[in-house]
Structure 1
Amino acid sequence: MKFLAAPVILSGVAAFFVWHASHGDRGLIAREQRLLEIAAARQELVQATNEREAAERRVNAMRGDQLDRDQLEERARAMLNMTTREEIVIPYPPGQRLF
C-alpha cells in the first residue's frame, strides 16, 4: 500500500495540472477564444480607423485656404435638411452610408 500511494498521488496531481492546462482560465480552449476576440477587435479597429480617416478628409476639405465649396454646401444642406427643386433625394437605409 505504501508503494502505491505515491504514484497515485503524483498521477492525481499531474491529472489536475493537465486538466487545468486545457480547460482553465488560461488553458488551450480559452486561448482559442482569446484569439477570436483579438481578431474581432482588430476588425473593429480597422473599421474605426477607416471612419476616422474619412472624417479627417471631410474636415480637412473644409479647413484652410482651400475651402471645398461643394462639401460646405453639402454639409449645410444636410444640417438644415434642405434641397432645391432640381435635386433628387435618394434615401439610404440606416446601415448604409456614403462615407
Structure 2
Amino acid sequence: MGTYCPIVAYGINCLKILPVDPGIPLCLFASMAVIQELRRRSKQVVFPVIGACVLGYFTYHTVQGDRGLLAFGRLNQEVSRAKTTLDSLRQERERLERRTDLLRNDSLDLDMLEERARQTFNLVHPDDLVVFLPSEKD
C-alpha cells in the first residue's frame, strides 16, 4: 500500500488523510491539496457573492435610481411647489374675476369703469389735481 501524507486537509464535516505517491514530492502534493480545497470552497462562495452583488445592485437603484427614494423626495418637493403656485394663481384669478364682474352690463359700477378708463387712456378729470413725482431713475 501507499504511504500516507502527514498533511491533513480539513473538510467541512470530516477530516481527510490524503495518500501520497512516493514519486510525487511532498510540497507538490500539499499545494495540490490546497488548490483542491480552494476550488471546493470557491464553489460554496460563488453563489452568495453573486447574490450579494445582485442585492447591492437593487438596493443602490432603490435609493439612487430614476424612480428611487431620492427621486421620490425631489418629486414631492416639486409637487408641493406646484401646489403653492396653483393656490396663488387661483387667488389671482378670483381677484380678477371679482373686478371683471364689476364691469359687466348687468352690474356696472361707474366708479370702476371710470378708474379703468383713466388708467387705460391716461385721462384725468378737469377738477383733478395732478402731482408729478420724480422718476426713480433720476
Distance 1:19 1:62 in 2: 60
User: Runs of 4+ in structure 1 displaced over 4 angstroms?
Assistant: 87-90
Distance 2:69 2:131 in 1: 57
Structure with greater strand share of residues: 2
- Say which SS state the counterpart of residue 67 (structure 1) adopts: coil
Q: Following the alignment from structure 1 to structure 2, what is the Cα–Cα distance between the partners of residues 89 and 19? A: 66
* The one of 49, 53, 70 aligned to 1:12: 53
**1:86 is aligned with what amino acid?**
L
* 1:88, distance to aligned residue in structure 2 (A): 5.6
Paired positions, count: 90
| Aligned-pair CA distance for 1:83 | 3.0
Correspondences of 1:1-99 after superposition (within 5 Å): 1-84=42-125, 85-86=128-129
Coordinate RMSD, CA, aligned: 1.7
Tell me how far apart the structure 2 counterparts of residues 50 and 73 of structure 1 sit (CA, whole Å): 25
2:77 counterpart letter in structure 1: L
Q: State the percentage of identical aligned residues.
A: 38
Equivalent AA in structure 1 for residue 129 of structure 2: E
What is the distance in 2 between the residues matched to 1:44 and 1:56?
18
Q: Under a length normalisation based on structure 1, what TM-score does the superposition of the two structures give? A: 0.82
For 1:33, give the aligned amino acid: R
Code of the aligned partner of 1:31: F
| Contact 2:101–2:107 (CA under 8 A) maintained in structure 1 | no
**One-letter code aligned to 2:111:** D
Shift of 1:82: 2.4
> Which of structures 1 and 2 has the bigger CA Rg?
2
Query: Which runs of 5 or more residues in structure 2 are unaligned?
Result: 1-41, 134-138
Tell me how far 1:81 sits from its aligned partner. 1.8
Q: What is the distance in 1 between the residues matched to 2:114 and 2:131? A: 16
Higher helix content, 1 or 2 = 1
Residue ranges of structure 1 left out of the alignment (5+ in a row): 91-99
Deviation at 1:31, TM superposition (A): 1.2
